[in-house]
Amino acid sequence: MDLGLDNVRFPLLDHGYVQLVESWGSDEQIIRSARMSTAKGFLGWGPKCRACGDAFDGPERDCPDHIVGRPYVDCGRGGHMFDAPGDEKLLKFLWDNQHSTPFEFAGMTIEVKAPIMVLREWMRHRTQSFSEMSARYTPLPNENYIPSIERLMVNSKTNKQAGTIKGAEELTEEWATRFRRILEDQYVNAEDLYQHALQGGVPKELARLIVPVGRYSVMRASTDLRNWCGFIKLRSAPNAQWEIRQYSNVVASLIKEAFPRTYEVAKSSLGLE
């Protein structure tokens, strides 16, 4: 499916991005898959004409018969166009009642550049297929994640997984600034050791032991719409780590673009606006 997003990279963090590689299927294909037993296929989105069944997406006008709350248009075939739902009603029914199989007939492949720590979290979603750049075959680029002062100062007291250790002092902006400098120095030292090991003949697959989890790597991730929605529900949640939330929110925006009707029926249960 051509979304006009080919080669568009959505920048994230300080060196990362998400890029759509391809999408397949559509909201319409989800409906077709759901109707395999009835062989009715996709009948169209509403509103639809009561008389001829044609779908209508033009401007609505007040009904001359003064039927309150039921806009219409003359369809030209002897009927009035009432605001009758089309297949969006079935789409909503499928989602609300967890008939999830039809949502497996659409999906996306994306490319992701993120710190290794983010990719390791991401790969816990074993319903996706992954292909990551391998430091066994090629040296990783010298790009490392340094969180901003604002990120370091985020209040994490409500997130036990992100909380500080017991007895830790309250983080100050001064100490956050100092931590950033220390982190940058450590990255420089790690890169120097990494390059020294490579030049000294250490195999790439072992020289990478020096590389920290803040180093950026690149992968492709692919799965169906059902499982992308499951990913978003967990990773866009307020208690997910801040970094992966930024990536998940971009994935959600890609779904909104590729599958707008599914996004509308799913967004509330996924915690999206």
Q: Where are the alpha helices (DSSP H) in 21-168?
A: 27-34, 88-96, 116-122, 149-152
pLDDT at 4 over 90: no
Confidence of residue 243 (pLDDT cuts 50, 70, 90): very high
Pick the closest to residue 270 from 95, 108, 128, 110 (CA basis).
Answer: 95
Confidence (pLDDT) at 46: 73
Confidence (pLDDT) at 39: 84
Q: With residue 266 as reference, give the H or E element that holds it.
A: helix 260-266
The reply to whether 245 belongs to the active site is: no
Q: Give the mean pLDDT of 95-104.
A: 95
The more confident residue out of 60 and 87 is 87
Q: How far apart are CA 120 and CA 235, in angstroms?
A: 13
246 token code pair: 């930024």
178 token code pair: 């100092």
pLDDT at 126 over 80: yes
Q: Give the mean pLDDT of 11-19.
A: 97
Confidence (pLDDT) at 102: 96
188 token code pair: 């420089």
Cis check for the bond before 47: say yes or no (omega within 30 of 0): yes
Yes or no: say if 270 and 232 are a contact pair by the CB < 8 Å rule.
yes
Confidence (pLDDT) at 131: 97
- Domain positions in the chain: 47-84
* % of the chain at pLDDT higher than 90: 66
Sequence-distant (6+) residues with CB within 8 A of 136 are: 204, 205, 208
Confidence (pLDDT) at 43: 82
Q: Give the mean pLDDT of 135-146.
A: 92
DSSP 164-198: PPTTPPPP-HHHHHHHHHHHHHHHHHHHHHHHHHH
Q: Give the mean pLDDT of 238-262.
A: 96
Q: Give the mean pLDDT of 234-244.
A: 95
Q: What is the DSSP letter of 265?
A: H
Yes or no: say if 214 and 187 are a contact pair by the CB < 8 Å rule.
yes
Confidence of residue 200 (pLDDT cuts 50, 70, 90): very high
pLDDT at 65 over 50: no
The more confident residue out of 9 and 62 is 9
Sequence-distant (6+) residues with CB within 8 A of 263 are: 252, 255, 256, 272
pTM: 0.84
Q: pLDDT by residue (tens digit) across 66-96?
A: 344 455 555 555 555 555 568 898 999 999 9
Confidence (pLDDT) at 64: 44
Name the burial class of residue 44, with classes exposed (0-12), middle (13-18) and buried (19+) by CB atoms within 10 angstroms of its CB. Answer: middle
Residue type, 121: E
Confidence (pLDDT) at 1: 55
Residue 233: count of CB within 10 angstroms of its CB:
17
User: Mean pLDDT, the chain, as a whole number?
Assistant: 86
Pick the closest to residue 270 from 146, 103, 32, 132 (CA basis).
Answer: 103
Q: Give the mean pLDDT of 45-53.
A: 61
84, β-bridge pairs: 48
Q: How far apart are CA 218 and CA 154, in angstroms?
A: 27
* % of the chain at pLDDT higher than 70: 80
The more confident residue out of 128 and 77 is 128
Question: Considering 32, 208, 226, 235, which one is annotated as catalytic?
Answer: 235
